[in-house]
């Protein structure tokens, strides 16, 4: 039985856990609140729910120790935008939520997850991010700063861990992921601007299924093109 450990259980992580549990996986998911874990258990009764904060190194170490051997680590944590607007109008602390909190959380999952998988000599680590990892968009500068940095970390780790038998990949979702949180954002948007959480889960499963010779270290999910772009 394969094991999934996903960080970020509120939306995408919950759906990913549900989809893989239905295929016979052992699934564990992490969230910062007990209420999110309760929602996960309601939908995926056999899931292992763990309360923890990826920005806290000791939490990440504890979580990996509790779950044990894993085959697929997925990092789907995000943050609530603290500023949206032109950089010349940004307050001095505009980077704090992204580079000060989100990025350290991403680094913690990559470094501890990478170490655990390298010790096993196998496994997949997928980092999920948005289209800002490929381009800076108007009003999204601070978010893009963290996304660009995340891309650099994943590219480096993919090269570092390949010789250890570990597949590290970034999934760039170049769309708004459909959820309760984003429902209001999508009211006036065409369908091709969004992707379902099931679409994203299938892309993650695809990355995990790659053989070592065909490892894809970056995949862009672009609904507008109706295809995946390696």
% of the chain at pLDDT higher than 90: 60
Dist. CA 94–CA 79, nearest whole Å: 13
pLDDT of residue 187: 56
pLDDT of residue 138: 84
Average pLDDT over every residue of 51-58: 96
Average pLDDT over every residue of 83-98: 88
Q: What is the mean pLDDT of the chain?
A: 88
pLDDT of residue 85: 86
Q: Is the pLDDT of residue 227 over 50?
A: no
Lowest mean pLDDT among 17-31, 124-138, 216-230: 216-230
Residue with tokens 């968009």: 137
Tell me: the pLDDT tens digits for 167-220? 999 999 876 665 566 555 555 665 566 678 788 899 999 999 998 878 889 888
pLDDT of residue 106: 97
The two beta strands, 194-195 and 3-7, are: unpaired
Cβ neighbors of 10 (< 8 A, separation 6 or more) are: 31, 36, 39
The two beta strands, 227-229 and 218-222, are: antiparallel
Q: Which band of pLDDT confidence, cut at 50, 70 and 90, is reported for residue 39?
A: very high
Q: Is the pLDDT of residue 225 over 50?
A: no
Q: Which band of pLDDT confidence, cut at 50, 70 and 90, is reported for residue 38?
A: very high
Count CA atoms within 13 Å of residue 5 on its CB side: 27
- Selected residue with higher pLDDT from 162 and 82: 162
Q: Is the pLDDT of residue 165 over 90?
A: yes
pLDDT of residue 226: 45
Tell me: the pLDDT tens digits for 94-113? 888 888 899 999 999 999 99
Distances (CA, A) of 87 to 40, 185, 221: 37, 22, 27
> Which ranges constitute the DSSP H helices of the chain?
12-22, 34-43, 57-67, 103-120, 141-161, 197-209
Dist. CA 217–CA 166, nearest whole Å: 11
């Amino acid at each position: 039985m394969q094991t999934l450990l996903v960080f970020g259980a509120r939306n995408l992580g919950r759906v990913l856990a549900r989809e893989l549990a239905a295929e016979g996986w052992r699934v564990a998911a992490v969230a910062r609140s007990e209420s999110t874990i309760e929602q996960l258990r309601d939908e995926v009764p056999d899931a292992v729910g763990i309360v923890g904060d990826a920005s806290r190194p000791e939490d990440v170490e504890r979580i990996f120790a509790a779950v044990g051997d894993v085959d697929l680590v997925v990092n789907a944590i995000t943050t609530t935008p603290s500023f949206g607007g032109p950089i010349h109008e940004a307050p001095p602390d505009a980077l704090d939520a992204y580079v000060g909190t989100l990025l350290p959380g991403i680094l913690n999952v990559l470094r501890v997850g990478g170490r655990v998988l390298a010790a096993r000599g196998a496994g997949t680590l997928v980092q999920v991010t948005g289209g800002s990892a490929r381009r800076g968009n108007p009003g999204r500068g601070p978010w893009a700063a963290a996304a660009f940095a995340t891309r650099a970390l994943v590219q480096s780790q993919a090269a570092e861990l390949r010789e250890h038998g570990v597949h590290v990949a970034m999934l760039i979702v170049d769309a708004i992921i459909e959820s309760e949180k984003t429902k209001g954002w999508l009211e006036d948007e065409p369908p091709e601007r969004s992707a379902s959480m099931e679409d994203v889960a299938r892309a993650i499963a695809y990355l995990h299924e790659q053989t070592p010779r065909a490892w894809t270290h970056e995949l862009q999910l672009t609904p507008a093109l109706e295809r995946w772009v390696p």
